[in-house]
Amino acid sequence: MSLIVQKYGGTSVSDISRMMHVARKIKATQNAGHSVVVVVSAMGHETDRLDDLAHQIMDNPTPRELDVLLATGEQVSIALLCMALHSMGCPARSYTGAQVAIRTNSVHTKSRIEHIDDEKIRADLAQGMVVVVAGFQGIDAAGNTTTLGRGGSDTTAVALAAALKADECQIYTDVDGVYTTDPRMVSDARRMPRVTFDEMLELSSLGAQVLQIRAVEFAGKYNVPLRVLSTFKEGSGTLITFDEKSMEQPIVSGIAFSREEAKLIIRGVPDKPGIAGQILGPISDANIEVDMIVQILGDDGNTDFAFTVHRRDYEQAFAILREVNDELGAGGVLGDAKIAKVSLVGVGMRSHAGIASTMFKVLGAEGINIQLVATSEIKVSVLVDEKYLELGVRALHEAFRLHEDPYEEEAERRRLRA
């Protein structure tokens, strides 16, 4: 008998009829002879609704109270889902994050899971129960409610799968797998039957919302077999695989993008050792994460220093940079909060040069100006004006022929040769 952790996202439980559909799927899994642990998100856009209520009161809601508020969404879902299971004669028991207990650190609104007590869950499973756990929430050492950041139910599921040594962690959502890019943006995006763990890590960290980055990190650390599937459509979804070697490697596998970027530039900074630290120190002291960094040396011995931050941190970073500017006697601060990041990802890039230059040519041909570039072994990211994001993603998807199945192509070539 195998143990399966299934996670159902907000759209999958957005009303009672969907909740009943999910309950039927869970019951069918149990009837097939598996032990089932379920993680569920808040219904539909409930987390957004709660967040909006808080922001109607204050711009920066108190993080501790925000967590208490946001965690309520998932508590509604676990109770209703258990009732749906009971109505079908399926024994089930719900638990909040605190009850399980999912212990986290105390960083409100973006806590990290440190430990999970699996005793209760194991005891219930032994009695033939389906165990339904609230996603996205935990409890810190002092007993405070915490949440794991938006999209955090994915992480709850993978962490539970790791703690219970589950045979598979299945992420059920509103798409039937991981696509070459967001299918809402490019209509002929293609589902990938498999994606390597390293690629998924990049795709998630660069903006593909389908799996929270922390969930992928957890899966990697604890070797959790992870699969993304549709709640509404039968199919085998996408397997996140650790087995790179057995796969044929397309050079570019997917395109990720993010609209959440903002760029800041401080001009005419004296070019001397330690200057980058003087500029970025105060930014990181304010807990603002810096992503891309570029330093451009001018003829006069001064440099322009540019970097990007999350858009929500833009105003604060701008204010800090103005102070730094005055202290250093630099030439002024510029910024743009309407920029987007587009990234090509593929493990095949490791052995192929020239992907970046092809990317620049494709964007150039569409008249899209590239503002900053960052590369790693398996990705190339560029920063563009937000209004060209869709055009850029579509042009790149087409140019790298991501709508075509590379495995099918190879099979076809082999057939022709034979």
| C-alpha to C-alpha distance for 194 and 228, rounded to whole angstroms | 10
Confirm if 347 and 250 have CB atoms less than 8 A apart: no
| C-alpha to C-alpha distance for 279 and 289, rounded to whole angstroms | 13
Confirm if 137 and 96 have CB atoms less than 8 A apart: yes
Minimum CB separation from ligand ASP for residue 136, in Å? 4
184 binds, among ligand ADP, ligand ASP, Mg ion, none (CB under 5 to 8 A by kind): ligand ADP
DSSP track, 249-294: --S--EEEEEEEEEEEEEEEEE--TTHHHHHHHHHHHTTPPEEEEE
Residues in contact with 399: Cβ distance below 8 Å, sequence separation at least 6, in sequence order: 358, 362
AA letter at 146: T
Confirm if 355 and 380 have CB atoms less than 8 A apart: yes
174 binds, among ligand ADP, Mg ion, ligand ASP, none (CB under 5 to 8 A by kind): ligand ADP
135 binds, among Mg ion, ligand ADP, ligand ASP, none (CB under 5 to 8 A by kind): ligand ASP
308 is annotated as contributing to ligand binding: no
Question: Closest residue to ligand ADP, Cβ-based?
Answer: 9
Minimum CB separation from ligand ASP for residue 207, in Å? 15
| C-alpha to C-alpha distance for 163 and 223, rounded to whole angstroms | 11
Query: Which long-range CB contacts under 8 A does 121-129 form with residues at least 24 apart?
Result: 121/37, 121/95, 121/160, 121/164, 122/164, 124/93, 125/3, 125/35, 125/37, 127/91, 128/91, 129/91, 129/92, 129/93
Q: Pick the stretch among 9-17, 73-81, 84-92, 288-296 that binds ligand ADP (CB under 6 A).
A: 9-17
| C-alpha to C-alpha distance for 303 and 76, rounded to whole angstroms | 54
197 touches ligand ADP by CB under 6 A = no
151 touches Mg ion by CB under 5 A = yes
Count other C-beta atoms under 10 Å from residue 72's C-beta: 16
| C-alpha to C-alpha distance for 195 and 191, rounded to whole angstroms | 10
Selected binder of ligand ADP within 115, 184, 312, 352 (CB under 6 A): 184
Confirm if 106 and 118 have CB atoms less than 8 A apart: no
State both tokens at 195: 């994606």
268 is annotated as contributing to ligand binding: no
Minimum CB separation from Mg ion for residue 340, in Å? 20
| C-alpha to C-alpha distance for 383 and 343, rounded to whole angstroms | 9
Selected binder of ligand ADP within 95, 136, 179, 197 (CB under 6 A): 179
210 binds, among ligand ASP, Mg ion, ligand ADP, none (CB under 5 to 8 A by kind): ligand ADP
**Positions 227 through 256 that interact with ligand ADP (CB under 6 A):** 254
188 touches ligand ADP by CB under 6 A = no
State both tokens at 24: 């039927």
Nearest Cα neighbor of 264 from 230, 307, 221, 208 is 307
Q: Pick the stretch among 140-148, 177-185, 289-297, 310-318 that binds ligand ADP (CB under 6 A).
A: 177-185
Minimum CB separation from ligand ASP for residue 399, in Å? 33
**Positions 104 through 133 that interact with ligand ADP (CB under 6 A):** none
95 is annotated as contributing to ligand binding: no
Confirm if 128 and 117 have CB atoms less than 8 A apart: no
Site string for Mg ion, 104-143 (x = CB under 5 A): ----------------------------------------
Selected binder of ligand ADP within 3, 11, 63, 331 (CB under 6 A): 11
Minimum CB separation from ligand ASP for residue 92, in Å? 20
268 touches ligand ADP by CB under 6 A = no
Site string for Mg ion, 192-231 (x = CB under 5 A): ----------------------------------------
The residues that touch ligand ASP, with contacts defined as CB under 6 A, are: 9-10, 41-42, 47, 73, 135-136, 150-154
**Nearer to ligand ASP by C-beta: 48 or 118?**
48
Residues in contact with 138: Cβ distance below 8 Å, sequence separation at least 6, in sequence order: 97, 98, 101, 102, 103, 104, 111, 113, 145, 146, 147, 148
Q: Pick the stretch among 4-12, 29-37, 263-271, 381-389 that binds Mg ion (CB under 5 A).
A: 4-12
**Which residues contribute to the annotated binding site for substrate?**
47, 74
> Which residue positions form the known binding site?
7-10, 47, 74, 173-174, 179, 184
Contact footprint for Mg ion (CB under 5 A): 9, 151
**Which parts of this chain interact with ligand ADP (CB under 6 A)?**
9-12, 41, 151, 173-175, 178-179, 181-184, 208-210, 254
